[in-house]
Amino acid sequence: MAESAVSPLAIFRFILRRLMPAVIPIVAVLLAGVCASASDKKGGGEYLVPPPPFTPGIFPCSSCHEGMEPNAQKRELTEHTNIKLRHASEVITWCFVCHDAKNRDKLHLVNGDLIDFTESYRLCGQCHGTNYRDWRAGIHGKRIGYFANGPRTYFLCVNCHNPHDPKFKPLKPEPPPFRPLDKQNGP
């Protein structure tokens, strides 16, 4: 009577298939908790962020807008012609929904609080709450530095998303990876 040999790899795969559906959510919750608690240590939501990716020569805004009377009328702009406002068009109808009309070097929250451009994540978080929560926990956006117990830099929403037209443009997918054992996808 011949015994069937079961490879250790087959046993490992069997165990992995049975355990992974239960393990992944637990690990995700633990990681999010570690990240959130590390974020809370930064003093109630203050994050080390790089400067926003301004177009050269455009900031500070007051260098051009100083003394200009704010015009809240939606119109075709003669300056900033590269900006097309396509962001929640039923809600964000004009520049001053986010930019402060009196202090052009600041943004403002819904409650009127002025914030620096380096805190723009707070402005985005007012409407995009789940993304903001995930960004703070480290599961949305980009960070560099230590995972825990060390300095890290959080990239702003505007480092990846155009704030005036945030939807990602379609990308052409890359071809599938070539695996030496896969004759169908060969070069």
Query: What is the model's pTM?
Result: 0.62
d(CA 115, CA 108): 6
pLDDT at 10 over 90: no
pLDDT score recorded for residue 182: 64
Cis-peptide, bond into residue 60, ω within 30° of zero: yes
What are the DSSP calls for 147-176, one per residue? SSSS-EEEPPGGGTS-TTS-SPPP-PPPPP
pLDDT band at 47 (very low <50, low <70, confident <90, very high): confident
Q: What is the mean pLDDT of residues 88-95?
A: 76
Q: How far is CA 4 from CA 1, 7, 9, 129, in A?
A: 10, 10, 15, 55
| More confident position, 70 or 6 | 70
| More confident position, 105 or 57 | 105
| More confident position, 101 or 22 | 101
d(CA 62, CA 58): 9
**Mean pLDDT taken over the chain:** 77
pLDDT score recorded for residue 30: 43
* Residue in this structure with the two tokens 């930064």, named with its chain if needed: 42
pLDDT at 102 over 70: yes
| More confident position, 90 or 63 | 63
Share of the chain above pLDDT 70, in %: 75
Q: Where are the domains of the chain?
A: 47-67+98-167
d(CA 151, CA 169): 33
Q: Helices (DSSP H) in the chain: which residue ranges?
A: 8-40, 62-65, 120-127, 129-137
pLDDT band at 55 (very low <50, low <70, confident <90, very high): confident
Nearest to 121 by CA among 71, 161, 170: 161
pLDDT tens digits for 117-164?
Answer: 999 999 999 999 999 999 988 889 998 888 778 888 899 999 999 888
95-115 per-residue burial string, b: 16 or more CB within 10 A, e: under 16? beebbbeeebbbbbeeeeeee
Spatial CB neighbours of 152, under 8 Å, sequence gap ≥ 6: 48, 143, 144, 145, 146
